[in-house]
């Protein structure tokens, strides 16, 4: 306590208004404006109205915080959204909390006491919307159900009901091109660590319109220094994406597109939100196995479609297994695979130029196959939306 008192005495914030004194200690109004230079991370404890509160140093002055009604809060959300510029438009959301679909972005909210928010106890997945069809809906739906089981999240509805909700939400959005994203959470109830207090798991769905074209231009990648998730968590598509985010940021800070993870044995694993594949000089398509990483739906579909290239003689074979860094960097082509990038060629990994440093023919052929599959593939991968 003596140390704390000394800290307060030596680093006392300078108030703009002193309300009164208690036991010779200054007491400040909770909404008091003040200014002080210093580190944002430093905190000063001040006794106020019988309570101990923390003030965080900031260069910006604090102002009175208004108490808003529900309607006023919603209006402020709408005003904030109107001032935001984004290529993505949120067209519809389903929430099991209110048991229906809304098309008002201001209502697309999640309770703070949902354990997915404050504990990261949730899983998610996605599906592309292409010309009024959902691409690989069932494959992604199967994966989120597997992820929920591994995360010990009980389904709020059976698979058939989940599927129906997904399709109806896209129908209500009237979106013809974009993405469908959905989450299963341990549920709402409290701020405890355990989900015992959660009444029921929750299900959220959102439809995002995005007209951004898929880009086939080659990119640079680096080797990630961020530790990879252990297999128990790496094989689950959970909302715990901090390692993925830091890995992506690490790449962007060096002017690269993505960072590539290596597994615990030094074999090539995956990117932050995509799988990776290689084409050897012998025209063999190599892909790391999925026992330690996320089983990518796009990557698995590419493995199926690539058989056509084998039949045409463009590839001599397909292999899934351990891939060394040496094999990867000496490959003729390196390819990123995922629902967000589809098929994206890599022309440089760290300081090593891949192949001749240009986009390769197999990457382009695989991209053409995926795009054709999205446009006219079989019913097993294309589900019509009844608008």
Q: How many other CB atoms are there within 10 angstroms of residue 126's CB atom?
A: 19
Q: Nearest-CA neighbor of 49 among 30, 23, 77?
A: 30
Phi, then psi, of 324 in degrees rounded to 5: -80, 160
Active site residue 87: no
Distance of CA 125 to the CA centre of its chain: 9
Longest CA pairwise span in the chain (Å): 87
**Helix/strand/coil for 239:** coil
CA 9 remoteness from chain centre: 44
Count other C-beta atoms under 10 Å from residue 16's C-beta.
12
Q: DSSP secondary structure string, 250-304?
A: HHHHTT-SEEE-B-TTS-B---SSSEEEEE-TT-EEEE--SSSS---HHHHHHHH
Q: Pick the catalytic residue from 237, 248, 292, 329.
A: 237
The catalytic site residues sit at 237
């Amino acid at each position: 306590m003596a140390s704390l008192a000394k800290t307060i005495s030596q680093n006392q914030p300078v108030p703009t208004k002193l309300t009164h004194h208690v036991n010779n200690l200054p007491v400040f109004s909770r909404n008091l404006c003040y200014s002080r230079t210093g580190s944002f991370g430093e905190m000063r404890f001040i006794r106020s109205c019988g309570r101990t509160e923390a003030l965080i140093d900031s260069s910006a002055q604090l102002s009175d915080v208004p108490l808003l009604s529900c309607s006023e809060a919603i209006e402020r959300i709408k005003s904030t959204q109107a001032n935001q510029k984004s290529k993505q438009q949120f067209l519809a959301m389903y929430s099991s909390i209110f048991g229906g679909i809304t098309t008002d972005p201001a209502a697309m909210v999640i309770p703070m006491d949902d354990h997915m928010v404050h504990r990261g106890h949730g899983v998610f997945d996605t599906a592309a919307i292409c010309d009024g069809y959902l691409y690989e809906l069932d494959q992604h739906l199967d994966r989120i159900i597997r992820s929920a089981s591994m995360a010990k999240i009980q389904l709020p509805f059976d698979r058939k009901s989940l599927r129906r909700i997904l399709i109806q939400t896209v129908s209500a959005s009237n979106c013809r091109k974009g993405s469908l994203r959905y989450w299963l959470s341990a549920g709402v109830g409290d701020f405890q660590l355990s989900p015992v207090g959660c009444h029921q798991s929750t299900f959220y769905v959102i439809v995002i319109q995005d007209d951004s074209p898929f880009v086939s231009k080659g990119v640079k990648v680096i080797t990630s220094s961020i530790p990879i998730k252990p297999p128990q968590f790496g094989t689950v598509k959970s909302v715990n994406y901090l390692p993925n985010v830091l890995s992506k940021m690490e790449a962007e800070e060096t002017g690269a597109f993505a960072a590539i993870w290596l597994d615990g044995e030094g074999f090539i694993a995956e990117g932050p939100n995509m799988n990776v594949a290689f084409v050897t000089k012998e025209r063999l398509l190599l892909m790391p196995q999925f026992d330690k990483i996320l089983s990518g739906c796009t990557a698995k579909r590419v493995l199926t479609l690539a058989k056509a290239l084998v039949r045409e003689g463009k590839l001599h074979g397909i292999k899934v297994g351990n891939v060394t860094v040496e094999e990867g960097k000496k490959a003729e082509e390196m390819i990123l695979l995922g629902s967000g990038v589809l098929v994206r060629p890599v022309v440089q990994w760290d300081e090593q130029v891949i192949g001749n440093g240009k986009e390769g023919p197999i990457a382009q052929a695989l991209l053409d196959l995926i795009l054709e599959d999205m446009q006219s593939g079989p019913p097993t991968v294309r589900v019509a939306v009844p608008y």
